[in-house]
């Protein structure tokens, strides 16, 4: 037993790989797909976090059903391009994203990646707890109770002592994101209008204004962020996926992108009835949105919306804290695996719990400038995404790392296009925030 404990990370990972090998040899494709599902779905549904879902809700309340339905689908196509590359890197190299940057570009850039990610992740975690507290407000739950309950759930999930069990627990929580679908159905939308919007909405953009720019960039920022790269590549490595698993990894990421896009679209549909009253959607938090939806979706619709926001913040908080711990371990060299118990990886679990606890504590500080912090987080996210994508493309094109799995021409074209678009969006967003008179 002592020998097994000393090498629990390798033992657990090898056991999972052996199960997948048997399924592949026996030609059980569905079982193999089930065994390999996880990182892609979690990263995509995790990015449907509390601020993102409130952004979609505000979009529906402002613009109704139209341009933004196919636009949200387009943003998740961009996310799929980015995350497929991260998945492929992890499956081929068996290393996390920060460790690859450290090895290929030196300690300076590796340390920069660590500090940058820890800072933006800590601030982003605060926004997740803001969403959780706001959602819990609908049920008259005190902020302290909402925060403690969230931290308790996070503690339970990471106590699984094995990546596979943690992943399955997280998947159960992540599929709670689908709660926004019945909320939309309960508002009784005109489905012919929804189908028409999906088919022709991009051809009819809303009237251009500074507010339109804000909503466009908010919806782009709701789909692709730096922590996603570090989380999925770290999870793929921790799961023990290999080059032969890339096809299933693409399926996993594609399913996650489709599910997340569907939820985002239905969140817009759910709040579209509010657009008729020309409400100031920017003033709404989770509880107020849930309350405003009750005349259209009923009591259960309001409850499901509030629960959806809580779930969104919870899953994102777990994923973001995990990506921080993975990155910390990759750069510092300490053990960083959910296949290890606490005693074998104390630094990994301490950072994961510490960054979540500090972020949660800031939400409870009276008078803390939460709205300003959300603004800073959004600016940091869009400004740090282009450098992260540049590293991603350089690594994916490295023949020494990737061999025959390096980027092909079409993958580079798509990757460069996404990088250029996000860079342009980031510059516009930063200008709109820093110098609003230039909008």
Paired tokens of 193: 């209008």
* In contact, 47 and 260? CB cutoff 8 Å: yes
Radius of gyration of the CA atoms of the chain, in A: 21
pLDDT of residue 3: 38
The mean pLDDT of 394-416, rounded to a whole number, is 93
28-37: average pLDDT: 89
DSSP states of 209-231: SHHHHHHHHHHHHTT--HHHHHH
Neighbours of 178 (CB within 10 A): 16
Helices (H), 142-285: 143-158, 163-174, 180-186, 191-200, 210-221, 226-239, 246-271
pLDDT digits (tens, 9 = 90+) for 63-81: 889 898 999 999 999 999 9
Q: Closest Cα to residue 399, out of 91, 92, 90, 96?
A: 92
- Compare 392 and 282 and report the one with higher pLDDT: 392
Q: What is the reported pTM?
A: 0.89
Cβ count within 10 A of residue 387: 16
Q: Which two tokens stand for residue 132?
A: 């959780």
Q: What are the contacts of 287-291 at 24+ separation with CB within 8 A?
A: 287/134, 287/135, 287/137, 287/138, 289/54, 289/57, 289/61, 290/135, 290/138, 291/138
What's residue 263's pLDDT? 95
Identify which of 126-135, 205-214, 363-372 has the greatest average pLDDT: 126-135
The pLDDT of residue 378 is: 63
Residue 182 has pLDDT above 60, yes or no: yes
d(CA 236, CA 221): 24
Read off the pLDDT of each residue in 157-179 and give the average, rounded to a whole number.
89
Percent of the chain with pLDDT over 70: 90
Highest mean pLDDT among 4-8, 21-25, 39-43, 341-345: 39-43
CA distance 428 to 215: 12
Coil, strand or helix at 336: coil
List domains and CATH numbers for the chain. Answer: 29-438 (1.20.1730.10)
Q: What is the mean pLDDT of the chain?
A: 85
Please give the pLDDT value at position 429: 67
């Amino acid at each position: 037993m002592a020998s097994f404990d000393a090498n629990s990370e390798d033992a657990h990972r090898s056991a999972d790989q052996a199960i997948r090998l048997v399924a592949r040899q026996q030609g059980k494709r569905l079982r193999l797909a089930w065994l390999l599902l996880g990182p892609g779905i979690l990263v995509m549904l995790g990015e449907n976090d509390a601020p993102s879902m409130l952004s979609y809700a505000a979009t529906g309340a402002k613009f109704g059903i139209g341009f933004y339905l196919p636009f949200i689908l387009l943003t998740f196509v961009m996310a799929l391009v980015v995350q497929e590359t991260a998945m492929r890197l992890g499956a081929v190299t068996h290393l996390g994203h920060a460790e690859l940057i450290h090895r290929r570009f030196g300690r300076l850039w590796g340390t920069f990646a660590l500090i940058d990610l820890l800072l933006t992740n800590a601030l982003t975690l605060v926004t997740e707890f803001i969403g959780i507290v706001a959602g819990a407000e609908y049920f008259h739950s005190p902020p302290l109770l909402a925060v403690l309950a969230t931290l308790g759930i996070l503690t339970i999930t990471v106590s699984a002592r094995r990546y596979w069990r943690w992943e399955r627990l997280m998947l159960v929580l992540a599929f709670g994101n689908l709660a926004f679908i019945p909320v939309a159905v309960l508002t009784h939308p005109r489905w012919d209008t929804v189908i028409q919007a999906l088919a022709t909405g991009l051809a009819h953009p809303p009237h251009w204004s500074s507010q339109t720019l804000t909503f466009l960039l908010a919806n782009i920022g709701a789909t692709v962020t730096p922590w996603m790269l570090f989380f999925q590549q770290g999870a793929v490595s921790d799961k023990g996926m290999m080059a032969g698993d890339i096809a299933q990894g693409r399926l996993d990421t594609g399913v996650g992108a489709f599910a997340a896009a569907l939820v985002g679209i239905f969140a817009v549909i759910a709040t579209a009835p509010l657009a008729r009253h020309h409400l100031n959607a920017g003033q709404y938090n989770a509880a107020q949105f849930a309350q405003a939806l009750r005349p259209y979706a009923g009591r259960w619709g309001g409850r499901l919306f509030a629960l959806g926001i809580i779930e969104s913040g919870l899953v994102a908080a777990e994923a973001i804290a995990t990506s921080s711990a993975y990155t910390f371990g990759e750069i510092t060299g300490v053990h960083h695996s959910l296949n290890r118990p606490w005693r074998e990886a104390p630094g990994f679990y301490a950072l994961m719990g510490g960054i979540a606890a500090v972020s949660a504590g800031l939400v409870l500080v009276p008078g803390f400038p939460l709205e300003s912090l959300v603004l800073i987080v959004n600016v940091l996210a869009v400004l740090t995404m282009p450098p992260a994508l540049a590293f991603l493309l350089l690594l994916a094109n490295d023949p020494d790392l990737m061999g025959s799995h390096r980027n092909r021409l079409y993958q580079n074209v798509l990757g460069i296009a996404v990088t250029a678009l996000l860079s342009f969006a980031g510059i516009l967003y930063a200008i709109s925030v820093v110098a609003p008179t230039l909008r």
